[in-house]
Structure 1
Amino acid sequence: MRICIYGAGAIGGYLGVEFMRAGADVSLIARGAHLAAMRQNGLKLLIGDEERVVRPRCTDDPRELGEQDFIIISLKAHSITGVIEQMKPLLGPQTRIVTAVNGIPYWYFYKHGGRLEGSTLESIDRGGRQWRELGPERAIGCVVYPATEIEAPGVIRHVYGNNFPLGEPSGEITSDITSLSELFTAAGMKAPVLERIRDEIWLKLWGNVCFNPISALTHATLDVICTDPATRALSKAIMLESQAIAESLGVKFRVDVERRIEGARKVGAHKTSMLQDLERGRPVEIDPLITVVQEMGRMTGIATPALDAVLALVAQRSRIAGLYDGAAVADAKSLAVA
């Protein structure tokens, strides 16, 4: 089984180390100082007081690697379209693409079974390029729950978690997804195979869609957002709008809004990924987490006034910082004041 991790940053590097330690044939795509450090010193994973070091096959040129059995995309979702051409030498007739990304993936409406079957999402897949050129039939869904960070070039620190739920868009239990789950398990991680992977995608997105932009706008950590009455109420309003959209598309939530907010509060003084990106001057992941929910609201005819207002503000804030060039624009009509 040949596996390429495309985007060997914090999550991709974590997977790379653990897969290699389990004996898998793994290649990593990286760039810049991180790639140089891996080539010179290997890739180091810090888990508590333990150091795990491997010397992976790594490159910034996928043409060196040839066709793969699995490509695990662990880039920020808004970066995927920009690397489609570079990814093509990795694709063989049977290659599967595992979308280990935040937010709604490009294949969402593939084998969905609803009235929007086969629809593409312009906010995350402009012109449908991912759908056409990568192919939804290759996709395997993956929800990323662990928290990791690049401590220094070539050095990944594991913060918490090891759960990577997997699922075929169709809900089938195929030999491909079973093999992939077994690899995660052999590498010491959890990878339950779910028949309803979209439910799990929305469960994680449910928090990201509100906590990420509110934190980027206020610089508040999760515990503050979830205990301050005003930001907690705003979070709940956005979550209820998102829930209505998801449920109209057949999604089932296994917890209610209050429990989901309480779960975030218990994480404590944690900075969301969007706030961290803003502080560190990295492109902000707005479209896969927020704009796409607005787009799905328009597709289903469900209004999203709270989400629209927060999206307009965080998009403007990120543009001013030079960290977002998307086209997220809240519906002016929905923001109109009588």
Structure 2
Amino acid sequence: MRICIFGAGAIGGYLGAKLALAGAEVALVARGPHLAAIRANGLTLIEEGERRTVAVRAAADPAELGPQDYVIVTLKAHSVPAVVPQLAGLLGESGALVWGVNGLPWWYFHHHGGSLEGTRLQSVDPGGAQWQGLGPERVLGCVVYPAAEVAEPGVVRHIEGNRFSLGEPSGEKSGRVVRLAEALSAAGLKAPVRPRLRDEIWVKLWGNLSFNPISALTHATLDVLCTDPGTRAVARAMMLEAQAIAERLGVKFPIDVDRRIEGGAAVGAHRTSMLQDLEAGRPMEIEALVGSVAELGRLVDVPTPTVDTVLALVRLRAKVAGLT
């Protein structure tokens, strides 16, 4: 089984290191000093105080790696359209595309059923580039829970979590998803196969939709924005609007909105990924995390006044910062 991690930064590097240390045939697509360090010294994982290094094949050009059985994408959502041809080349004729990307996925309405079956979301797939160039039938969904960081080039530090929930868009327990789950489990990771993966996508999106843009606008950490009465109220309103959309699409939430906010507060003084990107001068995942929910609200006729307001503000924040 050949597994390629496309976007081997923090999460991708953690996943690649775990698989490689377990003996899996892994290749990484990375770039810059991180790639150079991996090629020169191997990929190092710091986990629970232990430091382990493993030799792993890595390249900037995916064409060097050849066709793969599984291509696990861990890029930022806005980075994917530009690399569609490279991803398609890695997939070959029968490879599976494992979608470990934050936000509402472009393939959401593939095997969804109902009147919106096959709907393409312009906010996350402008012009249908991913739908046409990759094909939703190639996709396995993946909800990523671990937290990790690149401590220095070639070195990834695991912070917490080891679950990668998997699922077919159709909900079936296919051979290809079972085989991948077994490979991840053999590497010491939790890889449950979910018949209703969209439910988990929404629970994670619930927090990303609200906490990320609010943090980018206020520069507040999670513990602050989840407990300040004003920002908590804004986040709660956004989440309730999203819940109304999701439930109209058949999603079932296992927890209520207040418990989800409390969970965010419990993380502590964490800077969200959107805030980290803003401070580093990198493009933010605005459309995948927020714009997609506003688009869905229009599709199912659910008003999203708070989401729309925050979306307008964070889009302008990005423009003023020169990130669009």
TM-score calculated relative to the size of structure 1: 0.94
1:97 aligns with 2:97: yes
1:242 counterpart letter in structure 2: A
1:21 counterpart letter in structure 2: L
**1:58-115 superposed Cα distances (whole Å, 9 cap, x missing partner):** 0011111111110000100111101011223212221100000101111100000121
Unaligned segments of structure 1, at least 5 residues:
326-338
**1:146-184 superposed Cα distances (whole Å, 9 cap, x missing partner):** 111111111111111101110000000011101111111
User: Whole-Å Cα distance in 1 between the matches of residues 241 and 91 of structure 2?
Assistant: 38
Residue 70 of structure 2 aligns to a residue whose secondary structure is: strand
> Which position in structure 1 is the counterpart of 2:295?
295
1:304 aligns with 2:304: yes
Residue 44 of structure 2 aligns to a residue whose secondary structure is: strand
1:85 aligns with 2:85: yes
> Which position in structure 2 is the counterpart of 1:129?
129
Deviation of 1:48 after TM superposition, in Å, equals 3.0
**1:167-222 superposed Cα distances (whole Å, 9 cap, x missing partner):** 00000001110111111111111111000000000000001100000011111111
> Which position in structure 1 is the counterpart of 2:26?
26
> Which position in structure 2 is the counterpart of 1:109?
109
CA RMSD of aligned residues (A): 0.8
User: Whole-Å Cα distance in 2 between the matches of residues 222 and 209 of structure 1?
Assistant: 13
Residue 103 of structure 1 aligns to a residue whose secondary structure is: coil
Residue 291 of structure 2 aligns to a residue whose secondary structure is: helix
**Sequence identity percentage:** 61
> Which position in structure 2 is the counterpart of 1:162?
162
2:101 counterpart letter in structure 1: V
TM-score calculated relative to the size of structure 2: 0.99
Residue 165 of structure 1 aligns to a residue whose secondary structure is: strand
User: Whole-Å Cα distance in 2 between the matches of residues 306 and 47 of structure 1?
Assistant: 40
Deviation of 1:259 after TM superposition, in Å, equals 0.7
Deviation of 1:269 after TM superposition, in Å, equals 1.0
User: Whole-Å Cα distance in 2 between the matches of residues 226 and 200 of structure 1?
Assistant: 21
Number of equivalenced pairs: 324
1:220 aligns with 2:220: yes
Residue 52 of structure 1 aligns to a residue whose secondary structure is: strand
Residue 130 of structure 1 aligns to a residue whose secondary structure is: helix
User: Whole-Å Cα distance in 2 between the matches of residues 145 and 61 of structure 1?
Assistant: 28
User: Whole-Å Cα distance in 2 between the matches of residues 119 and 64 of structure 1?
Assistant: 34
User: Whole-Å Cα distance in 1 between the matches of residues 312 and 259 of structure 2?
Assistant: 27
User: Whole-Å Cα distance in 2 between the matches of residues 15 and 322 of structure 1?
Assistant: 32
2:289 counterpart letter in structure 1: L
> Which position in structure 2 is the counterpart of 1:321?
321
Residue 201 of structure 1 aligns to a residue whose secondary structure is: helix
Residue 144 of structure 2 aligns to a residue whose secondary structure is: coil
1:52 counterpart letter in structure 2: R
User: Whole-Å Cα distance in 2 between the matches of residues 88 and 267 of structure 1?
Assistant: 37
User: Whole-Å Cα distance in 2 between the matches of residues 112 and 88 of structure 1?
Assistant: 23
Unaligned segments of structure 2, at least 5 residues:
none
User: Whole-Å Cα distance in 2 between the matches of residues 202 and 314 of structure 1?
Assistant: 21
2:316 counterpart letter in structure 1: Q
1:320 counterpart letter in structure 2: V
Which region of structure 1 is more displaced relative to structure 2, 87-96 or 206-215?
87-96
User: Whole-Å Cα distance in 2 between the matches of residues 188 and 85 of structure 1?
Assistant: 32
